[in-house]
Every structure is written in C-alpha cells, then in structure tokens.
Amino acid sequence: MQKVVGIRFKPAGKIYYFSSEAFVLETGQNVIVQTEQGLGFGTVATPPVPDDQVQAKNPLKKVFRLATEEDFTQRDKNELLEKNAFEHCQECIAKLNLVMNLFSVESTFDANKLTFFFTAEGRVDFRELVKMLVKEFRVRIEMRQVGIRNQAKMCGGLGRCGRELCCSTFLNNFDPVSIRMAKEQGLSLNPTKISGLCGRLMCCLTYENETYMAYKKNFPKIGKIIEVDQKPAKVIRQAILNRQYTVKFEDGTEKEITIDTP
C-alpha cells in the first residue's frame, strides 16, 4: 500500500501530500520533493500514513531524497538571491513610479524562477518592470498580487496580545471573521481594538465563537424582562464563559444568576 507524507515549504504554510516511497521519514526532517515547479525543499509536517487515511489527489508526486549538505547550501544561496532581487525590484519600482508595495521574493529551489509578492489598491501595469527584472536575473519572473492578510502571514510580526501572529505560526487557512463574532462575545466594536496587524478583524475572534454561541442558547437576551424570585427583573449583563447573567429589579438592586448547565 502506498504511504503518504505531509510536507510544508513554509513554517505555517499549507501541508502538501507526497508519496513517501520507501523512505522512513519523521516529523521535522528536511526533504527534497518533486513539484510542478521542479524540485522543492520542504519539511516533514506529518509522518507517512497509508494513502486511504489521507484525502489527497492522485497521482501524488514523490519524495525525491533526504536533504543533503549541498541542498542546505543551495537554500542559503537562494536566500541571498531573494534578498538581492528584492532590493533591485524596489529600485525598479521607484524608477517606474509604480504604486505597489513589494514585500517578499521567493525563488524556486533550482533558482530558475523568481516570484515577487506585492499588495496594491488596484491593478498595476508591471510589464516594464518584468522586462527589467528578466534582463537583470535571466530567469522566469512572476508578479503575484495578494491580499493584506496574506502579507501579514508571509511577513509575520507581533499581535496586540504580544505573541507572534497566529497566521504566521500555525494557521493554515483564513476562516471567515465577522463583526457579529465580536458582538456575540461582548467585545468592544471599536475597529482599532478588534483588528489585527493586517488591519482586518482578528482571526482569534473565531476561536471561542462556537462556545459562545452554544452557551448563549440558554441565556435570556439582554434587555429582556424575566421573573426572578417572583419579581420582574431586567437582564442587563451576561458573563457567558462563567455561565452567569445579571438582572436588575425595579428598586435598582441587582442579582447575579448562574446557569447550571451550558
């Protein structure tokens, strides 16, 4: 039975599946794999498992070999090429007065293609820029415009919580985030307080959203008049995770009520 191994090409990047062939691989090992762009340098993210346990598209490309010292040297050379390409592209953008924000350059493992990542508010005519880059580096050039959330994921940084950005450390995909999630969790609706480094709503708003929604089914809505101790009272506050809510009686006194079951 064919075995499938999960490979990452970036620390928090998407996991791609390859046929591990006869290789005995462990998580964290560096390998060279066959990709559509040629050979690629990746890291084992999930150990080999039978192919019937993984929903992967067939036919799978193969793990070519374990990474060698020469491969690590080639990776270092690629990083230097990416740095030089970034600096040169910035100079070209300035000369052409293009309205675009270049933030990253990636090279294929065999260094025959450079991909330039940038953000821009609208469409950018970069045909002249590509000609200048091809003339300088003599390789295939790809210009890729991405969204602001992808920029944050690729560049990394620190969030308002003081930790490294979730998207650049462990999030593989961007789940939909809405202002309603912040409202349901009783957070401030001030955009500056619930937005991440990218300027979009924080991804962590989704983490507890299902729990809040499940717990709130048993809570009376804020503003509702209910009967407590045989007296009418108005619900004024909710502490969802503590499973408590506060009511206010007509005489101005308040009482906290705990819900036994979530």
Strands 140-145 and 16-19 turn out to be unpaired
User: Do 120 and 99 touch, CB atoms closer than 8 A?
Assistant: yes
Asked whether residue 136 carries a pLDDT value surpassing 90, the answer given is yes
How confident is residue 218, by pLDDT bands cut at 50, 70 and 90?
Answer: confident
Taking the C-alpha atoms of residue 261 and residue 130, their distance in angstroms, rounded to an integer, is: 62
Look at the chain and report how many structural domains it folds into.
4
- Assess whether 203 and 166 both reside in one domain: yes
Q: Which of 67, 84, 112 is the last residue of a domain?
A: 67
How confident is residue 57, by pLDDT bands cut at 50, 70 and 90?
Answer: low
Handedness of CA 164, 196, 142, 131 (dihedral sign): negative
**Residue 238 counted as domain residue:** yes
**Residue 20 counted as domain residue:** yes
Question: Hey, which of 74-88, 154-168, 207-221 has the most confident mean pLDDT?
Answer: 74-88
**Backbone dihedral region for residue 199 (phi beyond 0: left; psi -120 to 50: alpha; all else: beta):** left
- Assess whether 157 and 138 both reside in one domain: no
Q: Which of 16, 34, 67 is the last residue of a domain?
A: 67
What pLDDT shows up at residue 56? Answer: 62
- Assess whether 124 and 184 both reside in one domain: no
- Assess whether 186 and 236 both reside in one domain: no
**Residue 219 counted as domain residue:** no
What pLDDT shows up at residue 261? Answer: 58
For tokens 């961007």, the residue is: 174
What pLDDT shows up at residue 128? Answer: 93
Asked whether residue 14 carries a pLDDT value surpassing 90, the answer given is no
The average pLDDT across 87-110 equals 93
The average pLDDT across 172-198 equals 87
Average pLDDT over the chain, rounded to whole?
87
Taking the C-alpha atoms of residue 110 and residue 135, their distance in angstroms, rounded to an integer, is: 19
- Assess whether 254 and 236 both reside in one domain: yes
Asked whether residue 58 carries a pLDDT value surpassing 70, the answer given is no
Taking the C-alpha atoms of residue 254 and residue 236, their distance in angstroms, rounded to an integer, is: 9
CATH of the domain at 135: 3.30.300.20
**Residue 220 counted as domain residue:** no
**What proportion of the chain, given as a percentage, has pLDDT over 70?**
96
How confident is residue 85, by pLDDT bands cut at 50, 70 and 90?
Answer: very high
The average pLDDT across 143-171 equals 87
What pLDDT shows up at residue 30? Answer: 92
Q: Which domain holds residue 131?
A: 72-146
Q: How many CA atoms lie within 13 A of 150 on its CB side?
A: 13
pLDDT, greater one: 137 or 16: 137
Asked whether residue 213 carries a pLDDT value surpassing 70, the answer given is yes
What pLDDT shows up at residue 86? Answer: 95
- Assess whether 232 and 177 both reside in one domain: no
What pLDDT shows up at residue 172? Answer: 77
- Assess whether 84 and 136 both reside in one domain: yes
Instruction: Tally Cβ neighbours within 10 Å of residue 197.
Output: 19
**Residue 212 counted as domain residue:** no
Q: Which of 146, 166, 186 is the last residue of a domain?
A: 146
How confident is residue 134, by pLDDT bands cut at 50, 70 and 90?
Answer: very high
Q: DSSP label at 62?
A: B
Q: How is 133-197 classified by DSSP, letter by letter? A: HHHHH-SEEEEEE--HHHHHHHH--B-TTSSBPHHHHT--S-----HHHHHHTT----HHHHB-T
**Residue 217 counted as domain residue:** no
pTM greater than 0.75: no
What pLDDT shows up at residue 61? Answer: 84
